[in-house]
Amino acid sequence: MKAISILLAILFVSPAGLHSQHDSDFSRTEGRLLFPPLIAHHVEPRVGMSRLLGEERLRLDIGNSIDVLQWAIYNDEMQVAIGADFFTWTSLRQEKDFHFPVDAVDYLFGVNASFARTLSDRFSAALRLRLSHISAHLVDGSYQKESGTWRDGQLPRVYSREYVDLIAAVEWSGLLRLYGGGQYIYHIDPATLGKWSLQSGIEAVWQGAGAGWLHPYAAVDLRLIDIDGWEAAVNLQVGVKAGCWRGTGVQLYIAWFRGKSQHGEYYDQNWSYWGPGFNIDF
């Protein structure tokens, strides 16, 4: 709550200290979001697909986050934004004849507030606060019509959560970003699940390699979550982006994941997989 109070105080400072995005230099972000999405974290806005080779599945991401309002403060040294999030991540089963029945889907919608400050010529700091709702559902691709049963004995179950998460990040020269934070779930179903989690990660990019529009990168995200006790979930991603690093382009990558499933309907199952994927950034 202290972090929320600080952000609200920033948003409601005297209008004399604020001016609109159109009157400010916002080239620092090079894209639509003041706080760029975390590359290796699964709960981020994406449009793309990845192959889960260890699980024989595909993951489909469709979603967007946008800064609805942005302000610059004190001669652009500080920037503030508030926005909205709407996205899904879907589990598809791969079958013959190019069929991909939908197995499970998770929905998220919420609001966010972000803050960024230039610390020096090379260093900047940023903060993102999100208030979100997630619900998860099994879909007809998990139902076997011939036998009238659900695949692998996995019955549909209620899973939803409302939570607040806070991430702080430090970036060096647009090449290296370190971040850390946590999440508090103030309502969750099943109610027996833990309400706290911790998160940290690192991202490194070589901007403008080769022809100047290719950006090789590597990222790792580590979460500590409380399901039946504390466990680690690790997501590693290595790839290249063609286009603008913080803007429009195509991202090609190889990812590796190990931990509790990223889908709410399988929250108590351990998944381990690797595979290729792509994202399209608008």
Residues 224/29, Cβ–Cβ less than 8 Å:
no
Q: What is the pLDDT of residues 48-74, one digit of tens each?
A: 999 999 888 999 999 999 999 998 887
First-residue to last-residue Cα distance in the chain? 33
Go through the domains of the chain in sequence order and give each one's CATH number: 2-281 (2.40.230)
Q: Mean of the pLDDT values across residues 177-196?
A: 96
Q: What is the pLDDT of residues 71-100, one digit of tens each?
A: 888 777 899 999 999 999 999 988 777 788
How far from chain centre, in Å, is Cα 121?
28
pTM: 0.85
pLDDT at 31: 55
Q: What is the pLDDT of residues 239-256, one digit of tens each?
A: 999 999 988 999 999 999
Beta bridge partners of 243: 249
Q: Measured between alpha carbons, how far is 98 from 18 in angstroms, rounded to an integer?
A: 54
Q: Mean of the pLDDT values across residues 180-184?
A: 98
User: Which is more confidently placed, 112 or 16?
Assistant: 112
